[in-house]
Structure formats: structure tokens, C-alpha cells
Amino acid sequence: MTARLGRSFAGKVALVTGGSRGIGEGIVKRLASDGAAVAFTYFNSEERAKRLGSEINAAGGKVLPIKADSGSAEDIRATVNQVVEEWGEIDIFVNSAGIMIRGTIDSYSLEDFDRMLAVNVRAAFAGIQAASQAMKDGGRIILIGSNTAVRTAFPGASVYSMTKAALTGLVRGTATDMSAPHAEAVKTLIPLARMADVSEIAGFVSYLASEEAGFITGASLTIDGGYIA
């Protein structure tokens, strides 16, 4: 597994939450391809996580799958500690874990509301808090948000949109499998008339994690094919 186009994260350690599928998986693959040692969390997708780990290791990369519930701040902190114990530090933290529980506000349960906040918002806060303490100067923190923070194209997504808007407020942050059921409807609202390929998101994350993006901080950046233009 070799670094691309001169962008090398050789010697760097990355942690990606929710890295076993969708955008998270694409980010794990890209950062590993760029030379980083990559730890990633998974919760329900153990088989996919092991397959991803085997694929990267077979290609000469360095990867560490860790089972953790992003709804648990304790699990997030324990994950960071495990990565530091294994590899000494964290240079890149990418919060990609997220869930969508749809429902209209009039019937939305508080249990689902609390779970959405825990996984989509509190986990990002806990991850930033823990990972930043394991970083040297020049570390990178990237949160994967959603264009639904600005506008949503389907009903029952207001709580999800709220959690993604919260990420923008938290880091002033950066669409996957969760979008698939609504892809055709969303495409009609995108000027490029297609969904993003995971590799396009992963490439953007690779850039943000690199020294080339060293003057970007506290920014909310959009990659959406013109959806919110």
C-alpha cells in the first residue's frame, strides 16, 4: 500500500470513529493508503470491520479495528487510550460515526432523541476532548457533518438535521449508507445530479488532514455537488 501523489502520512496515527462502512470506511482506506496507521471503531458491523482490517493489512497497511459504542463517552475515551497505548499518540481524529432515527417531532420518543444526541453530538465532543489531549501541535480534528444541517429533502429528519447542525456549531465540521433510501429524491435537488462517491469525501478528508490544509481551522466546509448553493 503506497502513498498517493506525494501526500504521505507515514509515521502519523489516525483514529476514525464509525469506520467500518460508508464514508467512514472510505476514509479509513484513504488514510491507510496515504501511509497512516489507522485505528477505527465499529459497533454492529464486526464482520465488515474484520474484513476491512484484513484487506488493509494484506495490502501492507497498518490498521486497528476497535469495538466501541459511540453513544458511550466511556467507550470513546477508552478507544483513545487504547490507540495511545498501542501507537503512542494520535495525529488525526475523524469523527464519522452517526445514526439516523427518523420520525416527526409530534411522535418522536425521548429515548430516540437522547440516543441521536449521544451518538451524533456527545460522541464528537467526547472524542475531540480525549483525542486533543493525545495530540501534539499540528494535530487535525475533522467532524463529518451533513448538508441536512442546512436543508433536508425528506420528512422525519428534523432531529437528525439538528444534530448535524450542532456539529457545525461545535467545530464550525464537514453525505453514505444512510442516504441510500433517499438518494433518488435527493439527486433531483443536486445540480450535479448525482450523489457523492465515498472516495470524493475521503479525498477531502485526506486533504484536510494534510499539512497543505494547515491554515484551515474552525471551518465548516461543504462538499455536496451544489445541494445548498
Give catalytic residues, as residue numbers. Answer: 160
Determine contact, residues 217/139, Cβ cutoff 8 Å: no
Within 138-189, strands assigned E span: 140-143
Contact 94, 22 (CB under 8 A): no
Task: Compute, in degrees rounded to 10, the torsion defined by CA atoms 37, 43, 46, 48.
Answer: -70
CA distance 162 to 157: 9
**How many C-beta neighbours within 10 Å does residue 67 have?**
14
Q: Which of 97, 51, 53 is nearest to 75 (CA)?
A: 97
Q: How far apart are CA 119 and CA 163, in angstroms?
A: 9
